[in-house]
Amino acid sequence: MTRILVHGTFVSAPDPAFLDVRADSWLLAEDSRIVSLTGERPADTEDAEVRDFGDYIIIPPFTDIHLHAPQYLNRGLGQDMQLLDWLEHHTYPEEKRFSDLEFAGSVFGELIDELVHIGSLRTVIFSSLHADAALLLMQMLAEAGLESYVGKVNMDCNGVPGLQETTEESVRETLRWLDSCKELPPRVKPIITPRFAPSCTPALLTELGKIVEKYDLPVQSHLNETPEEVAWVAELFPDRSNYLDVYDYYGLLPRNKTIMAHCIYNTPAEDELLARRGVLMAHCPTSNLVLGSGIMNVKRYLGKGWRLGLGSDISGGESLSMHDIMHDALKSSALICRSRNSLCERLNYAEIFHMATRGGSSFFGNCGAFEPDMPLDYLAIDDSMNTRHHDLTIEERLQKFMFLGAGIIKERCLGGRRLNAVGHAWD
């Protein structure tokens, strides 16, 4: 049995309404699972490996539950466009290039290095429609020690030349990809990924629903991102009562195993169905602001117990950094609060921290905080530069790191494994 003792100041948000702060504390893990977190060093731990971080803040790793790997190089382009125009003129042409595995591997390597560097150690990712590129991405994520769900995108209509499958190709390639995924370590898993309802015919949605049921797989897609998208879905699927009902009708809302990104223009009926199916909503504030999609009223969902996490949504969002995303979540909440003249709707920093950690990581199971039987995961942060001139409370130190990135991640750990960050231009 391997025993590890971690010492420092621990901060987590196991619940949106509860910030758990443990100054000068000791976390004991056995075989990479947390046993206890106490104010004194546990007795009979002389044989344990000690990782003493002194006064460093120690937080759970970030989880980015919605990003598009093939759009990594596309960040910063088309930021003055709305969603559907941006897809046509920038996103789809870039994604076509991922049929070239040498090119894909080069881009994926840079993406993964940055994810490790910024501490987003769990991710839920859209690849392109190319099965071999999706598999390559999964292999590289596994080699880096990250935990991820990756989807081979499905789209058999409303694409562009060179970035669209036939229904038969999409099903065949999805099954081939799933068969290849069996050889991967369990920390990297497949997720069924209809790009969004307008990119899939009823025939393809039907087949994807059968695959989800047969193989007991999770699903990710987009929902109610813009009014134009919502109207398009209503035109394409006139027999369905709303956008979410399209996915539900075809068996693509497996209970507690579905992520829907954006969710800005949900109807009351969709809200009820989201709750009933236990859907995890990916709030993507940076992308929503850049593309002018709208502002999700996150506060009302958190208050009712809906599941929420944060997504960078690159390259609609220009930044992978969870610091930027958390800050944009704060600003977006302030804007919607002011527009409705209701200060009670504004998010606080602890709720945002929860979404960036425990909220998103809940898709991966019982993780994202420092509680017994959770895996040993953490970011150890040297934020001493923030207290050179005056004292700060632990809560204030956390806010500095959250919203400014003011601090240096000295160590990254996932499932007991230390991860090495590769230095790049963002250092």
| DSSP structure string for 217-251 | --EEEEES--HHHHHHHHHH-TTSSSHHHHHHHTT
Mean pLDDT of 165-170: 98
pLDDT at position 364 over 70: yes
Task: Write down the number of H helices and E strands in the chain.
Answer: 15, 17
pLDDT at position 223 over 70: yes
Query: Which pLDDT does position 422 carry in this prediction?
Result: 56
Query: What percent of the chain stands above pLDDT 70?
Result: 97
Residue 423 binned pLDDT confidence (cut-offs 50, 70, 90): very low
Query: Which pLDDT does position 340 carry in this prediction?
Result: 67
Mean pLDDT of 128-142: 97
Give the least confident one: 65-74, 181-190, 299-308. 299-308
Residue count of the chain? 427
How is residue 217 written in tokens?
């797989």
pLDDT tens track for 317-357: 899 999 999 999 999 999 888 776 655 578 999 999 999 99
pLDDT at position 240 over 60: yes
pLDDT at position 89 over 90: no
Residue 377 binned pLDDT confidence (cut-offs 50, 70, 90): very high
- The residue written with tokens 């369905």 in the block is 240
* 130 CB-near residues (< 8 Å, 6+ apart): 98, 99, 104, 152
Residue 291 binned pLDDT confidence (cut-offs 50, 70, 90): confident
Query: Which pLDDT does position 424 carry in this prediction?
Result: 39
Query: Which pLDDT does position 421 carry in this prediction?
Result: 63
Query: Which pLDDT does position 79 carry in this prediction?
Result: 74
pLDDT at position 280 over 80: yes
Question: Which of 150, 60, 117 shows the shortest CA–CA distance to 370?
Answer: 60
Domains of the chain: 3-60+369-419 (2.30.40.10), 62-364 (3.20.20.140)
pLDDT at position 164 over 50: yes
- Residue 308 bridge partners (DSSP): 281
DSSP 209: H
* 205 CB-near residues (< 8 Å, 6+ apart): 194, 197, 246, 247, 250, 252
Q: How many CB atoms lie within 10 A of CB 360?
A: 30
Mean pLDDT of 212-236: 97
Query: Which pLDDT does position 410 carry in this prediction?
Result: 97
pLDDT at position 87 over 80: no
Higher pLDDT, 174 or 303: 174
pLDDT at position 141 over 60: yes
Query: Which pLDDT does position 427 carry in this prediction?
Result: 34
Q: How far apart are CA 91 and CA 159, in angstroms?
A: 11
| CA-CA-CA-CA torsion sign (348, 351, 356, 360) | negative
pLDDT tens track for 64-83: 999 999 999 988 787 787 77
Query: Which pLDDT does position 388 carry in this prediction?
Result: 87
Stated pTM of the model: 0.95
Mean pLDDT of 404-409: 94
Query: Which pLDDT does position 425 carry in this prediction?
Result: 33
pLDDT at position 426 over 60: no
- The residue written with tokens 């935990």 in the block is 147
